[in-house]
């Protein structure tokens, strides 16, 4: 719960070694002074992310919250390698990101499924693209479908599933590739409140895994409660262009159950502090919107 003014973290992080091997102890993900300027259709420029410093430790679960349109998705896009920063650096395991990497998994608000393929075939697709032989890919896919409670739905097609079931397919599709880095952009926001809580619990179980901490996660959400319930650390972004306003540690014990952790006094205390920080940025964003309309 320690506010980290300005969000400048790990400035003493080790840099890549001269022979290019990742330095021991490097954060899983790091943005250093990263900015992203987009060209607008009218030929102007729009700064979506400005001078952003952020470090995610190995196996750490970091949630990112900020007002709408501030630049959260753009930040994820920089980490994913889909976009390059206009200025600054983005590093994975101490190495500069130069494109999409196989160890990075994504879960977005929209499901990335092939509608003409069965559930099993959808979950097999990732390993198959990565060169895993068919029989092994099928076996792994069946294993993950079992873990997300969809063993009996392997032969269904995506349109024959509920929203929650489709989200479980998305999780299986991602975890089957055993990602070291997991980037999640409002993955549960299209779900109803109960299913959302259920999926959050399932995500924590999958991430925690049998061997303790799994992937290093960046989870973007509008929902402060969701952020606190899931994360080790919550990053509050400023009104756009996004930069880190404050970082809060969430010292709630694990394993956590989303519905019960919300009721703990410590949770409520953290929520109050974070909302004081985030609410101010939301107000700035609203006022800007209102003055534009006026």
Ligand X SMILES: Nc1ncnc2c1ncn2[C@@H]1O[C@H](COP(=O)(O)OP(=O)(O)OP(=O)(O)O)[C@@H](O)[C@H]1O
Cβ-based nearer residue to ligand X, 14 or 289: 289
Select the residue interacting with ligand X from 2, 21, 68, 110 (CB under 6 A).
68
Q: Which is nearer to ligand X, 117 or 288 (CB)?
A: 288
DSSP state at residue 242: B
Q: How far is CA 149 from CA 3, 108, 118, 178, 276, in A?
A: 39, 20, 16, 18, 39
Residue number, 57 or 67, with CB nearest to ligand X: 67
Q: Quick one: which segment of 72-80, 125-133, 158-166, 209-217 binds ligand X (CB under 6 A)?
A: 72-80
Could you say which of 7, 71, 85, 94 contacts ligand X (CB under 6 A)? 71
Which residues, including other chains, have CB under 8 Å from residue 7's CB and lie 6 or more apart?
53, 54, 235, 243, 244, 245, 246, 247
C-alpha span between 51 and 195 (Å, rounded): 37
- Is 221 a binding residue for ligand X by CB under 6 A? The answer is no
Contact call for residue 69 and ligand X (CB under 6 A): yes
Total residues at interface with ligand X (CB under 6 A): 13
Q: How far is the CB of 105 from ligand X (least distance, A)?
A: 19
CB of 117 vs ligand X, minimal distance in Å: 28
- Residue 218, interface with ligand X (CB under 6 A)? no
**Euclidean distance between CA atoms 279 and 274, whole angstroms:** 8
The contact mask relative to ligand X for 23-42 (x = CB under 6 A, - = no) is ---------------x-x--
Candidates 69-77, 131-139, 225-233, 249-257; binding stretch for ligand X (CB under 6 A): 69-77
Q: Which two three-digit tokens encode residue 287?
A: 């006022």
Q: What is the chain's length?
A: 294
Residue placing its CB nearer to ligand X in the complex, 35 or 121: 35
Question: In this chain, which of 72, 138, 196, 245 binds ligand X, going by CB under 6 A?
Answer: 72
CA distances from 125 to 11, 41, 121, 215, 270 (A): 39, 36, 6, 20, 41
Provide the minimum distance between the beta carbon of 46 and ligand X in the complex, in angstroms, as a whole number: 5
Instruction: Tell the residue number behind the tokens 């901490």, with chain if given.
Output: 213
Cβ neighbourhood burial of 130 (10 Å; 0-12, 13-18, 19+):
exposed
Residue 286 interacts with ligand X (CB under 6 A): yes or no: no
Terminal-to-terminal C-alpha distance of the chain: 39
Q: Rule CB under 6 A: is residue 50 a binding residue for ligand X?
A: no
Are 13 and 95 in contact by the 8 Å Cβ rule? The answer is no
Shortest distance, position 32 Cβ to ligand X, whole Å = 19
Query: Is position 48 an interface residue for ligand X (rule: CB under 6 A)?
Result: yes
| Inter-residue contact 89 to 31 (CB < 8 Å) | yes
Q: Single out the residue of 73, 86, 118, 189 in contact with ligand X (rule: CB under 6 A).
A: 73
Give the shortest CB-196-to-ligand X separation in angstroms.
17
CA–CA dist 238, 220 (Å, integer): 14
Any contact of residue 240 with ligand X (CB under 6 A)? yes
| Binding flag, residue 74, ligand X (CB under 6 A) | yes
Contact residues for ligand X (CB under 6 A)? 38, 40, 46, 48, 66, 68-74, 240
């Amino acid at each position: 719960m320690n506010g980290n003014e300005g969000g400048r973290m790990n400035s003493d992080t080790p840099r890549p070694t001269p022979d290019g091997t990742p330095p021991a102890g490097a954060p899983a993900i790091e943005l250093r002074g990263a900015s992203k300027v987009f060209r607008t259709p009218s030929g102007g420029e729009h700064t979506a992310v400005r001078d952003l410093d952020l470090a995610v430790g190995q196996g750490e679960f970091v949630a990112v919250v900020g007002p709408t349109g501030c630049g959260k998705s753009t930040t994820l896009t920089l980490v994913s390698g889909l976009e390059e920063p206009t200025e600054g650096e983005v590093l994975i395991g101490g190495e500069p990101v130069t494109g999409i990497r196989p160890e990075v998994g994504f879960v977005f608000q929209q499901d990335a499924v092939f509608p003409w393929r069965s559930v099993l075939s959808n979950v097999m697709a990732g390993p198959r693209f990565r060169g895993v032989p068919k029989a092994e890919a099928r076996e792994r896919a069946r294993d993950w479908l079992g873990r997300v409670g969809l063993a009996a739905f392997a032969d269904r097609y995506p349109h024959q599933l509920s929203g929650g079931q489709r989200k479980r397919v998305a999780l299986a599709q991602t975890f089957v590739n055993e990602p070291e880095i997991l980037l999640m952009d409002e993955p549960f926001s299209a779900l109803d409140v109960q299913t959302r809580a259920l999926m959050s619990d399932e995500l924590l179980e999958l991430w925690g895994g049998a061997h303790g901490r799994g992937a290093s996660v960046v989870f973007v959400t509008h929902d402060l409660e969701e952020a606190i319930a899931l994360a080790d650390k919550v990053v509050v972004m400023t009104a756009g262009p996004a930069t880190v306003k404050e970082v809060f540690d969430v010292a709630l014990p694990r394993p956590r159950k989303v519905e019960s952790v919300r009721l703990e006094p410590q949770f409520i205390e953290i929520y109050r502090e974070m909302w004081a920080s985030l609410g101010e940025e939301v107000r700035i964003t609203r006022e800007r919107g209102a003055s534009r309309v006026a």
